[in-house]
Structure 1
Amino acid sequence: MPVIDINADTENLTLTVTAEFAAPIERVWAAYTDPRQLERFWGPPGWPATFYTWDHTVGGRADYGMTGPHGESSRAYWEFLEIDEPRGFSVLDGFSDENGNPNPGMPAMRMDFTFAPTEGGTRMVTSSRFDSIEALQTVLDMGVVEGTRMAMSQIDAVLRDLREYAEGKGTQVELLDDTHVRITRLVDGPRDLVWRAYTEPDLIRRWMLGPDGWEMTECEVGLKAGDRYRTSWAPVGDTEGEPFGFEGEMLVVDAPRRAVQLERMQGTDGPDIVDDVSFYEEDGATLITVLMEFPDLETRDAVLATGMADGMEESYKRLESTVLA
């Protein structure tokens, strides 16, 4: 976890985040000044950022938005005030409406990013200064402290070469909290083809089968928000087990970057699980990240106990050996 301290100073109206990275200052600078890299960690899991404009010059502006797992959206902007490569930069950070216009009903703040080399890499200090205690309290009430910690937990994958970070590690499971699990798997293939493998029934049937001995008997996909989908599996030959399946609704579809769906076991009233799948390509490989949101700890543990991660690994191996080969 890069974040080592977050301090809200109500007397001086500041919020200060201190983080340390095992990467040289030039690499950290690049991550914070390239919008495509910044998108991968600026929003917390489940609320990825998209930068619509980027003019990294004094007086320039960047406009971005975050989209939640149920399609909720939040827009904001940066106005670049100072730039001192690679030691830091300052912005006016504020909320905006859907057209990018500043929202006067929400607080704006000055953010100073400073980067300094250390023996092991780089230390970053981000200091946000507010006009009033009410403005500071507003962002604290919005969950900025925990959101920042969760967002920054994603940066290690950005600072390292993607293949170095994830290749050969198989399907990795991280317990983020009682109701959120993050699953990652690097597959050797381009994002556009991986997206097709997730959204075209003929391709899905070739790889999304879990352990050997199962076949997919239904495959109805959803390609836009609001669409329904349905998938079913059954054992083949002497394989033990009962047929089962999932159904639900697509919540967000942002091809070929992200797909979010509400999922439940067929023939039941729930519980509902949110599957938030994102795809990032680098050097011909695609990192698949699945963020799962459960209604409670008991459901989380029950799902993981089914051997789901092992079944996913078998499917991903099949994806690489068939569709991506």
Structure 2
Amino acid sequence: MPVIDITSDPEALTMNIVADFAAAPDRVWTVFTDPRQLERFWGPPGWPATFTRFDFAPGGLAQYHMTSPTGEISRGRWEFTKIDEPRSFEVLDGFADEQGDLNPDIPPMRMVFAFEPTATGTRLNGVTHFASVESLEQAVGMGMVEGTRMAMGQLDAVLQDLRDYAAGRGTQVEILDDQHVRITRLIEGPRELVWRAHQEPDLIRRWLLGPDGWRMTVCEVDPTVGGAYRYAWAPEPGTEGAEFGFDGTTLVSDAPRRAVTTEHMTGTDYPSTTNDLQLYEEDGATLITLLIEYPDAATRDMVLATGMADGMETSYQRLERELLPA
């Protein structure tokens, strides 16, 4: 976790963030000023950003929106006021409407991003200036501190070459908090094919089988928003276990980048989870990131204790073996 400290100062009307990164200043500068890299972490898990405009010059504008797992959209915009490459840049950051214009009811914040070299990489000193104590308190109340901490926590994956970060590590499980688990897996193949492997029944049946000795008996998928799906599996003769399945609906579909679905164990009164699947391709390899939201820590721990990650790893290995060219 790169964040060292986040503090707010009501007297100075500021919020300060200090974060250290094991990467050179020019590399850190690039991830903050390249919209395709910036949108991989600007926004906490579950609220990824999409930048639709990025005029990186004094007086230029950046426009973006963040989409929740339920499809709710929050829009923002930056006006670049100062740029001192590669040491610092400043923006006026505000909430925006559908046309990209500033929301007049919420004063914009002045944000300063400053980067300095350290013995091990780069330190970010970020200062946000608020118009009033009320604006500062409103930002804190909306979860800005924790949201910033979680957003910056995603930077390690962005700063490294994708294969250096994930190749050979298999299926990785990271507990973020009581309700959220992040699962990552690198697939040596193009994003378009990995997306189709998660959306098309004919392909799903070839790999989403879990441990050896199981077969998929039901695979019904409507990947459109509001569409339903249902999966079921049964053990092969000689394999212990009872048939089970999952059902749910699609909440968000942004092909071939993101799909959010609910997931419920069929025939039970177990609570549903929300599964946020995101795909990112770099140099022919695709990073699968699955953010799962559980209703509580007890449910989270119960599911993880079933050996879910091992079953997922077996399936991902099968995906690579069955669907990707040798």
Aligned equivalents of 2:216, 2:101: Cα separation in 1: 48
* Unaligned ranges ≥5, structure 1: none
Aligned equivalents of 1:68, 1:194: Cα separation in 2: 22
State the Cα RMSD in Å. Answer: 0.7
Name the residue aligned to 1:310. Answer: 310
- 1:72-111 to structure 2, matched below 5 A, reads 72-111=72-111
Name the residue aligned to 1:301. Answer: 301
Aligned equivalents of 2:306, 2:121: Cα separation in 1: 41
* Displacement after TM superposition at 1:224 (Å): 1.6
* Displacement after TM superposition at 1:268 (Å): 2.1
* Displacement after TM superposition at 1:107 (Å): 3.0
Name the residue aligned to 2:263. Answer: 263
Tell me the amino acid that sits aligned with residue 316 of structure 1.
Y
Tell me the amino acid that sits aligned with residue 290 of structure 1.
L
Structure 2 counterpart SS, 1:70: coil
Name the residue aligned to 2:164. Answer: 164
TM-score by length of 2: 0.99
Structure 1 residue 180 corresponds to structure 2 residue 180? yes
Aligned equivalents of 1:243, 1:162: Cα separation in 2: 37
Name the residue aligned to 2:114. Answer: 114
Work out the number of aligned pairs and report it. Answer: 325
* Displacement after TM superposition at 1:212 (Å): 0.6
* Displacement after TM superposition at 1:21 (Å): 0.5
Q: Deviations over 1:101-125 (max 9, x none)?
A: 1111123110011001111110111
Name the residue aligned to 1:14. Answer: 14
* Displacement after TM superposition at 1:225 (Å): 1.3
Aligned equivalents of 2:250, 2:282: Cα separation in 1: 27
Structure 1 counterpart SS, 2:246: strand
Aligned equivalents of 1:140, 1:26: Cα separation in 2: 31
Q: Deviations over 1:45-65 (max 9, x none)?
A: 000000011100111000000
Deviates most, 215-224 or 315-324: 215-224
Structure 1 residue 273 corresponds to structure 2 residue 273? yes
Name the residue aligned to 2:37. Answer: 37
Aligned equivalents of 1:123, 1:74: Cα separation in 2: 29
Name the residue aligned to 1:242. Answer: 242
Aligned equivalents of 1:12, 1:222: Cα separation in 2: 53
Tell me the amino acid that sits aligned with residue 303 of structure 2.
V
Tell me the amino acid that sits aligned with residue 203 of structure 2.
L
Q: Deviations over 1:217-270 (max 9, x none)?
A: 111112221111111111112111101000011111110000000110101233
Name the residue aligned to 1:251. Answer: 251
Structure 1 residue 52 corresponds to structure 2 residue 61? no
Structure 1 counterpart SS, 2:259: strand
Aligned equivalents of 1:44, 1:281: Cα separation in 2: 20
Aligned equivalents of 1:111, 1:262: Cα separation in 2: 36
Tell me the amino acid that sits aligned with residue 98 of structure 1.
E
Q: Deviations over 1:71-91 (max 9, x none)?
A: 111000000001111001000
Tell me the amino acid that sits aligned with residue 205 of structure 2.
R
* Displacement after TM superposition at 1:99 (Å): 1.9
Could you tell me the percent identity over the aligned residues?
A: 64
Tell me the amino acid that sits aligned with residue 58 of structure 2.
V
* Unaligned ranges ≥5, structure 2: none
* Displacement after TM superposition at 1:97 (Å): 1.1
Name the residue aligned to 2:24. Answer: 24
* Displacement after TM superposition at 1:98 (Å): 1.8
Aligned equivalents of 1:290, 1:316: Cα separation in 2: 13
Name the residue aligned to 1:206. Answer: 206
Structure 2 counterpart SS, 1:29: helix
TM-score by length of 1: 0.99
Structure 1 residue 150 corresponds to structure 2 residue 150? yes
Stretches of 4+ moved more than 4 A in 1? none
* Displacement after TM superposition at 1:192 (Å): 0.4
Q: Deviations over 1:180-201 (max 9, x none)?
A: 1000000100000100111010
Structure 1 residue 319 corresponds to structure 2 residue 310? no
